[in-house]
Amino acid sequence: MIILIGLPGSGKSTVGRLLARRLQLPFVDSDSAIEQRLGCSIREFFEREGEARFRDEEQALIDELTQAAPCVLSTGGGAVLRPANRQCLRERGRVFYLRSSPEEVFRRVQHDRSRPLLQVADPLQKLRELYAQRDPLYRETAHHVVETGRPSVASLVNWIAAQL
Ligand code: S3P
pTM as predicted: 0.96
59 ligand 1 Cβ < 6 A: no
pLDDT tens digits, 72-115: 999 999 999 999 999 999 999 999 999 999 999 999 888 887 88
Supply the ipTM of this predicted assembly. Answer: 0.97
Number of domains, the chain: 1
Say what the pLDDT of residue 95 is: 98
Residue 143 belongs to domain with CATH number? 3.40.50.300
Q: Is 135 in the pocket of ligand 1 (CB under 6 A)?
A: no
The amino acid at residue 94 is R
3-state secondary structure the chain: CEEEECCCCCCHHHHHHHHHHHHCCCEEEHHHHHHHHHCCCHHHHHHHHCHHHHHHHHHHHHHHHCCCCCCEEECCCCHHHCHHHHHHHHHHCEEEEEECCHHHHHHHHCCCCCCHHHCCCCHHHHHHHHHHHHHHHHHHHCCEEEECCCCCHHHHHHHHHHHC
**Pocket test residue of 5, 34, 41, 42 for ligand 1, highest count of atoms within 8 A of CB:** 42
**What are the residues whose beta carbons fall under 8 Å from the beta carbon of 30, sequence distance 6 or more?**
58, 61, 62, 65, 73, 74, 75, 76, 79
Task: Give the span between the Cα atoms of 85 and 91, in whole angstroms.
Answer: 10
Tell whether the model's pLDDT for residue 151 goes beyond 80.
Answer: no
62-73, pLDDT tens digit by residue? 999 999 999 999
Range(s) of the domain holding residue 157: 2-163
